[in-house]
Amino acid sequence: MKRILIVEDEPELAANIKEMLINLDYEVTKIVNNGVDALSHLEKKDVDLILMDIMIEGDIDGIDLAYKIREEYDIPIVFSTAYSDQSILDRINSDIHEGYLLKPFGLDALKAAVYMGFKKHKENQDNNLKKATLKIIDKGYVVPVPLEDITFVKADGLYTKVYTTAKTYIMRDILKNVVEKITHKSFVRVHKSFMINTIHVDSFNSKKILIKNQEIPIRRGFYKELKLMMNLP
C-alpha cells in the first residue's frame, strides 16, 4: 500500500482528503500543517508521495518546502492550492513537483493527480537510471557501466564482484564503498554481502532472491520490506 503525507493547514479539508485517499486504497502516514513538522515526519517515516498545499503555516510556504525536500529525498510531490495567480505558478518549477491540483477538487481529480504523480516519478527514475553509470577499472581502462545493466553486486573479501547482463567485473574495493557509489532507488542491500537491482529480480521468497538463475540470500526480516519496495501485496 502506497503511503502519502498530507501537508495542509485547513483541518476540515485535510480530514476530507485523508478519507478520499483511504477510499482509494492509500495509507495516510500523517497530516501536518507546516514545514517543520513535515520535515520531522520524513526523518521518521517512509513516505511514497506528498500532497502539498502551497499556503501553509510557518515561515516557509509549500513551494519553498518542496525545494528543501528535494535536497534530501526522492519523493514525488503533488501541489494543491486555491490560488492560480501567475506569480505562484511561475515559482513552481517542474523539477520540484509531479502534479498540480486546483482547489476545490473531488475524488476523481485527486485519484488522477496522485496516479499521474507516481507515474511521472517512475518515468523520471527510469530516465535517471539509464543515464547513470558506475565507473569500473577493467584491464587498465575505466569502463562506465550503465546502472541499468547491473543485476547485483557481491562482496568478495577486499574486492566486490559486479554482475551485469553482459559480464562480471571485479572492483578493488569493499562492498560498503561500492554501495555508497550506487545511490539509485532501484538498488537495495538485501544481505550483508549482496546488493541487488530490483528491476532484474525474477522471483523471491522470504529466504532468497532469484536473478538470472543466481540465488541471492535475503537478510532476516527484510522480506516484507522488499515486497513493499516492489509494489507487491
Tell which residue, 110, 60, 100, has the closest CA to residue 80. Answer: 100
Average pLDDT over residues 96-117: 92
The one-character DSSP state at 164 is E
Tell which residue, 48, 64, 196, has the closest CA to residue 119. Answer: 48
What's domain 3-129's architecture?
3-Layer(aba) Sandwich (3.40)
Q: Is the pLDDT of residue 22 over 80?
A: yes
Average pLDDT over residues 85-112: 82
**CATH classification of 132-229, choosing from 2.40.50.1020, 3.40.50.620, 3.20.20.70, 3.40.50.300?**
2.40.50.1020
The one-character DSSP state at 219 is -
- Which range among 35-49, 73-87, 132-146 has the greatest average pLDDT? 35-49
Would you state the pLDDT for residue 130? 78
Q: One-letter amino acid identity for 107? A: L
Domain map (residue ranges) of the chain: 3-129, 132-229
Cα(171)–Cα(155) distance, integer angstroms: 10
Would you state the pLDDT for residue 232? 67
Top pLDDT among 81 and 217 is at: 217
Q: Is the pLDDT of residue 94 over 70?
A: no
Cα(119)–Cα(76) distance, integer angstroms: 9
Q: Is the pLDDT of residue 92 over 80?
A: no
Burial 165-201 (b: 16+ CB within 10 A, else e): eeeebebeeebeebbeebebebbbbbbeebbbbbebb
Q: Pull the grid cell for residue 22.
A: 483511504
| Beta-sheet pairing, 99-102 with 77-81 | parallel
Would you state the pLDDT for residue 84? 64
Q: Is the pLDDT of residue 52 over 90?
A: yes
Q: Is the pLDDT of residue 144 over 80?
A: yes
Query: Are the folds of 3-129 and 132-229 the same?
Result: no
- Is 216:205 a contact under the CB 8 Å cutoff? no
The one-character DSSP state at 169 is E
Would you state the pLDDT for residue 214? 93
Would you state the pLDDT for residue 87? 66
| Average pLDDT of the chain, as a whole number | 90
Average pLDDT over residues 96-108: 89
Q: Pull the grid cell for residue 98.
A: 509531479
Q: Pull the grid cell for residue 33.
A: 500543517
Cα(30)–Cα(130) distance, integer angstroms: 34
CA atoms within 13 A on the CB side of 163: 17
> Position of cell 501536518?
32
Sheet with 150-156, strands from edge to edge, namely 168-171, 159-164, 150-156, 194-197, 187-191
Q: What is the pLDDT of residues 173-207, one digit of tens each?
A: 999 999 999 988 889 999 999 999 998 999 998 89
Would you state the pLDDT for residue 79? 93
Would you state the pLDDT for residue 26? 96
Q: What is the pLDDT of residues 202-221, one digit of tens each?
A: 999 889 999 998 999 998 88
Would you state the pLDDT for residue 231? 67
